[in-house]
Amino acid sequence: MNNLSKRILTSIVIFPFYIFFIIKGGNYIVSFLYALLVLANFEVFSVFKRKISIILLDVILVIALLSMLHLRNDTASSFVLLIWVIILTIFSDIGGYIFGKIFKWRKFTKISPNKTLSGALGSFLFSIISVLLIGFIVEILTGIESDFFQKPRYFILAILFSLAAQIGDLTISYFKRLEKIKDTGKLLPGHGGIFDRIDSLIFSVIVANIIYTLNLFP
């Protein structure tokens, strides 16, 4: 089985777990986030040697997990925002991977040699598509017609969240490059470790929480 097949299979398996615990809320989401904290910390202390890297990664992780908990539990709007950001981050990663493989435009950073301009464009385009998807999801869950795809600000937010996701990916890649490692672990086939899987999400969810706190959503 090649790496792409492993990535797809792993994503199919773990995505329902994300959604299950988030939808259930309460002790389920708390237990899930605590498990992520423990597993991610095990990776950090196992593979990273620089104290500053360990501290910064841990701080970013804790802020992201608290942001997820706040968005899940605050209001119905914040819950929708959390679901959207998770879906958007997945779309952003898929778009970057597909466009990067197909078009192979020039690379734009030494931090992560596989990152290309075509991949960045694909991430933005697929993130915009997520606006349409979350609009339909809101309609299905609430029975109320959604205006997500009728207001330009949601498309602007999609680009912003995708940018945050890509910055998150590059940031974790930078820390790994300092340690001269490829993955933070081997727990998730095709992805590596926990940090390799959530590197984009932890940044986008922090930005989403800031946006929500500033009353820029919905």
* Confidence (pTM): 0.87
- Report domain extents, the chain: 3-213
Give residue 206's pLDDT: 96
Give residue 187's pLDDT: 58
Please enumerate, as own/partner, the contacts of 119-123 that have beta carbons within 8 Å and a separation of 24 or more. 119/95, 120/96, 120/166, 122/95, 122/96, 122/97, 122/98, 123/92, 123/93, 123/95, 123/96, 123/99, 123/162, 123/165, 123/166
Query: Hey, what amino acid is at 210?
Result: I
Q: Of 5, 28, 3, nearest to 17 (Cα)?
A: 28
Choice between 34 and 133, residue whose per-residue pLDDT is larger: 34
Q: Of 46, 130, 142, 146, nearest to 84 (Cα)?
A: 130
pLDDT of 87 > 80? The answer is: yes
pLDDT of 85 > 90? The answer is: yes
Give residue 13's pLDDT: 65
